[in-house]
Homo-oligomer: A and B are copies of this chain.
Amino acid sequence: MSQASPIAAAQVRDAAPLFAALGDETRLRLLVRLAASGPESITHLSAESTVSRQAIKKHLDVLSKAGLVRGDRRGREHIWELEPKRFADACEYLDRISRQWDDALDRLKHFVED
């Protein structure tokens, strides 16, 4: 009887780029790094990475477009920080799919029992 609300097509179109942004090892490492150390500049971030500064910059752009990080120019540095709300968005989305699956199984069960 949980009756999760249905998932609209527009939400799928919004969620796909979000998960796509999360679906790269280098980007995930960037997020983990940011989460552990707090706001950081591009140079600092790329110093601890195996790939070039430009690669890191591209990844940050992708993450930024997905709303997962936010960049802030301070003088000649560009400081990046996490945007925790988007993480919650993604979580909620997954949770809704899960609940709808549970509902579907419940319906199947009742259908069989009738």
Which residues of A line the B interface, CB within 8 A?
6-7, 9, 12-13, 15-25, 28-29, 31-32, 34-38, 82, 84, 87-88, 90-91, 94-95, 97-98, 100-102, 104-105, 107-108
Contacts and interface: CB of A to CB of B under 8 A. Distances in A.
B31 A97 contact: yes
A69 to B, nearest CB: 10
Tallying the copies of this chain within the complex gives 2
A78 to B, nearest CB: 18
Given A12-B29, A24-B16, A94 B104 contact: no
Nearest to A100: B35
Given A94-B90, A98-B88, A12 B36 contact: no
